[in-house]
Amino acid sequence: MNSSTATTVFLPIALGIIMLGLGLSLTVADFARVARYPKATIVALACQILVLPAICLGLVLLFDLDPPLAVGMMLLAASPGGTTANLFSHLARGDVALNITLTAINSVLAVVTLPLVVNLAIAGFLDGGTELGLQPDKLLQVFAIVLVPVALGMLVRWKAPGTAERLRRPVKIASIVVLVAVIAIAVYQERDNVLGYLRSVGLVALLLCVVSLAIGYYVPRAARVEPRQAVAAAFEIGIHNSTLAITIALSPALLDSAQLAIPAAVYGILMFLPAGLLAYLLSRRAVATLVPPS
C-alpha cells in the first residue's frame, strides 16, 4: 500500500481527536475508582485481555481466514474499548462511571498488550512477518497516538474544567465524523476487494462482537458482579476501538497494510447492530425492574 496524506497525516489526527475526547471526560479519580469496584474491574480486564484474544483466535482458526485478515482480527480483539462503549452503556442504564474507569485502564494497558498480541499473530499467521510488526521503536508511536492525547485532554479538564466541558460536545461530534471517515478510507483503499472481504470476515467480525458482548455480561454476572456493572462490562468488552485498530494497520510508520485494517472497518459498521439491540433489551429490563407491577 502506498503512503498517502490520508494515512500519514489524517489518520493520526483523527485518532488524536477521538482520544482527546476521551481525555476530556477523564480525571485522576477515574483511575483511582478501581478500588471501589475491584471485582468488576478485575473480571472485566481479565475478559478483555485474556479471554477475548483466545476467543478471536478460535474464530479465526474455525473460519480459516486468510493470514492478513486473521492478523487484522487479532489486532481488533486486542484493541481496548472506546468512548462508544460509554454511550451504549448509558443507553442501557449501565454504570458509566465503571465504563470510564475501564476505558482509562484499558487504554494504558493496551500500549503493552496490543503490540504483544499483534506480534504473536504476525509470527503465527504471516511466518514471522519480516516486514511487519510493532517492534520496540514503534511502541513509542503507539504510546504517542494512544496516551498523549488522553493526557492532554485530562490536563485541559484539570486546569480549565469549563473549557473542557464546552469542548466535549464538539469533540464528540467530530469523533463520530472521524470514525465514519476512517472506515471509509479503509474500505476505499481496498475497494476492489471489499465485497470479498465482507464475505470472508463479515460473519467473523459480527460473531466476535456478539460473543464479546455475551462474555462481558454473563461472566461478571456469574462472578456475582451487580447488574449495572455487568452492563458496563458488557459494552466495554464488546465494543472495541476499531478506529485505533484501523490507524495502527494503515499507518505507514506502523503496520502499513490496508488488508489488516479491513476486519476493524467491517466491525466498525456491523457492531452497531448487536450493540444497539443489546442496549435496547437491557434498558427495557432495567425499566421493568423499576416499575412495580399493577
The type of residue at 12 is P
Does some domain include residue 292? no
In angstroms, the CA 7 to CA 255 distance is 11
pLDDT beyond 80 at 181 = no
In angstroms, the CA 48 to CA 62 distance is 21
Q: 101: which 3 cell numbers?
A: 474507569
Q: 179: which 3 cell numbers?
A: 470514525
Q: How far apart are the first and last CA of the chain?
A: 63
pLDDT beyond 80 at 37 = no
C-alpha distances (whole Å) from 265 to each of 185, 208, 244 are 9, 14, 11
Does some domain include residue 231? yes
Does some domain include residue 290? no
C-alpha distances (whole Å) from 5 to each of 9, 131, 262 are 5, 22, 19
Mean pLDDT of the chain: 79
> Domain span at residue 122?
5-285
Query: Of 90, 85, 87, 93, which is closest to residue 283 (Cα–Cα)?
Result: 93
pLDDT beyond 60 at 7 = no
The CATH code of the domain that includes 54 is 1.20.1530.20
Long-range residue pairs from 215-222, CB within 8 A, at least 24 positions apart, any chain: 215/47, 215/51, 215/52, 215/55, 216/44, 216/47, 217/278, 219/43, 219/47, 219/51, 220/40, 220/43, 220/44, 220/47
The type of residue at 270 is L
pLDDT beyond 80 at 160 = yes
Does some domain include residue 49? yes
From 51-60, 155-164, 227-236, the region with the lowest mean pLDDT: 155-164
In angstroms, the CA 28 to CA 112 distance is 21
Question: Residue 170 contacts by C-beta under 8 Å, 6 or more apart in sequence?
Answer: none
Query: How many domains does the chain fold into?
Result: 1
C-alpha distances (whole Å) from 241 to each of 84, 87, 211, 281 are 8, 13, 16, 23
pLDDT beyond 70 at 183 = no
Does some domain include residue 85? yes
**Is 256 within 8 Å of 188 (Cβ atoms)?**
no
- Identify the residue with better confidence: 235 or 3: 235
Does some domain include residue 89? yes
Does some domain include residue 291? no
The average pLDDT across 169-177 equals: 74
* Other residues' Cβ atoms within 10 Å of the Cβ of residue 85: 29
Backbone dihedral region for residue 259 (phi beyond 0: left; psi -120 to 50: alpha; all else: beta) = alpha
The average pLDDT across 143-153 equals: 75
**pLDDT tens by residue, 251-263:** 777 787 878 888 9
The pTM for the full model equals 0.79
Residue 81 pairs in a beta bridge with 240
**Is 238 within 8 Å of 213 (Cβ atoms)?**
yes
Write down how long the chain is: 294
Does some domain include residue 293? no
**pLDDT tens by residue, 189-242:** 667 766 777 788 989 999 999 999 999 999 999 999 988 889 989 998 988 888
**pLDDT tens by residue, 61-83:** 999 998 999 999 999 999 887 67
